[in-house]
Amino acid sequence: MTERADQFSITLAQLNPTVGDVAGNAAKVRAARERARADGADLVVLPELFIAGYPPEDLVLKPAFQSACRAVVEELALETADGGPAVLVGTPFVEDGKLFNACVLLDEGRIAAIRYKVNLPNYGVFDEKRVFARGPVSGPMTIRGVRVGVPICEDTWLEESAEYENVVECLAETGAEIIVVPNGSPYARGKTDIRLSVSVARVTESGLPLVYLNQIGGQDELVFDGASFALNADLSVAAQLPAFEESIATLRWQKDDSGWRCQGPVAILPDGDKADYAACVLGLRDYVGKNGFPGVLLGISGGIDSALCAAIAVDALGVERVRGVMLPFRFTAQVSLDDAATLARHLGFRYEVLPIAKAVNGFEEILADTFKGLPRDITEENLQARTRGTLLMAISNKTGAMVVTTGNKSEMSVGYATLYGDMNGGFNPIKDIYKTEVFRLSALRNDWKPEGALGPSGEVIPASIITRPPTAELRENQTDQDSLPPYEVLDAILERLVEREQPLATIIAAGFDREVVARVDRLLNVAEYKRRQAAPGVKVTRRNFGRDRRYPITNRFRDDGRPLPTPDDRLVSRAGRASAEAIDG
């Protein structure tokens, strides 16, 4: 351990906490500190709210939970009296009756310093203003003779709100030498570049090196990808940790006339489709593992959605924890039966065929007796999907295995998925994956698999499944005029409607057919009630259903596709600034 002010070693503990497992998370802190001690580090840093797990949502409001977090922080603080590395760890912290998102420095047997998160995010998946109080802007901590600034996650994201305090600027002005940022930043496609851009801006403004530590792991629908990094003051990359896996690395900083500098390990990160696939694997693995399921069960249809989900499940859990069931009816084609069997053979998971004709026929007889004289319609067509859902849940009840749901984002968007059939279950790894990407990911998996994947290499999804032309089945409450456009067109329209919230007039002006756009928009709106009842699933886009996009089910507004009128500001009477301020206060 060094006390010299020209050397400073920081161990970055990019680890996977579990929300609510205070004792288990504390055990990870202890193990990371022992690794830091072995490396001769001065400081070990853990991510935002690591003691609680992130995000704790309303769990953090429970006094008993707050007390449990405080108690374990005090235990960890006492343990630092042994002369080993200091610990910088995120935790909820109550002071003066207010609950803060805090980062505490544990050293020399005490809580040596506390910093509170100043800028609380309240957009997208974040809702921190509901549960935390805004902290004051503070100066740096002194750790082993080095002045370390500790902004917490959103405190560096000035681009998100003009009302945010420039915490990094304040730290630089009050003498910080190095900026260390504990984060709980969830994955979304392209997020790595955004984080780097934000951090580069803070380094440029402050002239200080910056360490960005992010957690990894799945928490309900969120996946945290890690991908922690450090930048020198000249914007060169000091270190890059891997994505989607736990990693502990000790960075050795040296100080010269130009300030602090480090050159650590630099990992290669997956991006694009590879990163999305890795996120789906990690999200499913942690949902199953952290919730204590012995394994998973999924319906294998011979189609591409269930094939991709099966590959993800085997990669996440291993073949011994995956069970596939084909549930054929009289409309099931032989090619589907053949492809499903080939898929199971390639991936190696347990597979069985359970015909459902008796069950469907039984339901049909009950309906026929109840509604005598009424013709067959979509009701009977949906019975096979509902029967499959019932049987899958029954097998789940018998075995304890969690049902993996296999509906993709395109068909869930427009309601082409049957409740209690292919939308309901325990978890859906492709819930936020559009159909066009389902095809891309399936082809990708045959040529590549992510680090740590437990499935076999080579072709795992039969080529015949990938090359078979996609067809959109008609599902409940759909009629012939609701048939979908090609998925390339559908997904392009949905991306503009869902991700970008564009008016119909803008989408039409981009070259899409007016009637098709209007039909897709209508289907998107009327399917809101279905999506509310769907299983949770991995978030990979910037705007997923559930956490990001929340629309009322009862909603009569419809965009008519006409250009938006220009507001007439002449009709608005505005109070002068002096009178407005007088009224306000």
Q: How confident is the model at residue 427 (pLDDT cuts 50, 70, 90)?
A: very high
Q: Is the pLDDT of residue 565 over 70?
A: yes
- The predicted pLDDT at position 543 comes to 73
Choose among 291, 314, 306, 501: nearest CA to 405: 306
Cβ neighbour number for residue 446 with a 10 Å cutoff: 17
Q: Which two structure tokens, joined as six digits, stand for 87?
A: 């610990």
Q: How confident is the model at residue 83 (pLDDT cuts 50, 70, 90)?
A: very high
Residue range 138-189, pLDDT digits in tens = 999 999 999 999 999 999 998 777 888 899 999 999 999 999 999 999 999 9
Q: How many percent of the chain have pLDDT more than 90?
A: 71
**pLDDT, greater one: 82 or 160:** 82
69 is an active site residue = no
Helix (H, G, I), strand (E, B) or coil at 114: strand
Chain-centroid distance, C-alpha 329 = 36
The C-alpha atoms of residue 363 and residue 387 are separated, in whole angstroms, by: 9
Q: Which two structure tokens, joined as six digits, stand for 6?
A: 């020209």
Q: Work out the average pLDDT over 540-553.
A: 78
The dihedral region occupied by 68, where left means phi > 0, alpha psi between -120 and 50, and beta the remainder, is alpha
| Residue 115 β-bridge partners | 103
153 is an active site residue = yes
Q: Select which of 28, 117, 274, 435 is catalytic.
A: 117
- The predicted pLDDT at position 568 comes to 87
Q: How confident is the model at residue 231 (pLDDT cuts 50, 70, 90)?
A: very high
48 is an active site residue = yes
Helix (H, G, I), strand (E, B) or coil at 372: coil
Of 50-54, 85-89, 378-382, the poorest mean pLDDT is in 378-382
Of 78-87, 128-137, 290-299, 475-484, the poorest mean pLDDT is in 475-484
Q: Work out the average pLDDT over 408-421.
A: 78
Using alpha carbons only, give the angle 465, 468, 470 rounded to the nearest 5 degrees: 105
Q: Is the pLDDT of residue 281 over 80?
A: yes
Q: Is the pLDDT of residue 527 over 90?
A: no
Half-sphere exposure (Cβ direction) of 24: Cα atoms closer than 13 Å: 9
The C-alpha atoms of residue 115 and residue 499 are separated, in whole angstroms, by: 35
Q: How confident is the model at residue 127 (pLDDT cuts 50, 70, 90)?
A: confident
Mean residue pLDDT across the chain? 90
Strands 146-149 and 141-143, sheet pairing:
antiparallel
Of 175-179, 206-210, 472-476, 483-487, the poorest mean pLDDT is in 472-476
Taking each helix axis as running N to C, give the angle between helix 272-290 and helix 435-447, from 0 to 180 degrees, rounded to the nearest 10. Answer: 90
**Strongest mean pLDDT among 227-231, 335-339, 403-407:** 227-231
Q: Select which of 28, 48, 437, 495 is catalytic.
A: 48
Of 103-117, 140-154, 326-340, 500-514, the poorest mean pLDDT is in 326-340
Q: Select which of 69, 103, 128, 153 is catalytic.
A: 153
Q: How confident is the model at residue 477 (pLDDT cuts 50, 70, 90)?
A: very low
The C-alpha atoms of residue 48 and residue 32 are separated, in whole angstroms, by: 15
Q: Is the pLDDT of residue 5 over 90?
A: no
Q: Is the pLDDT of residue 499 over 80?
A: yes
Collect all residues with Cβ–Cβ distance below 8 Å to 376 and sequence separation of at least 6.
Answer: none
Sign of CA dihedral 321, 336, 464, 410: negative
Q: Is the pLDDT of residue 282 over 60?
A: yes
pTM of the model: 0.91
Using alpha carbons only, give the angle 492, 312, 409 rounded to the nearest 5 degrees: 25
Q: Report all structural domains of the chain as residue ranges with CATH numbers, in order of start.
A: 8-257 (3.60.110.10), 274-473+528-532 (3.40.50.620)
Q: How confident is the model at residue 552 (pLDDT cuts 50, 70, 90)?
A: confident
Q: Is the pLDDT of residue 474 over 70?
A: no
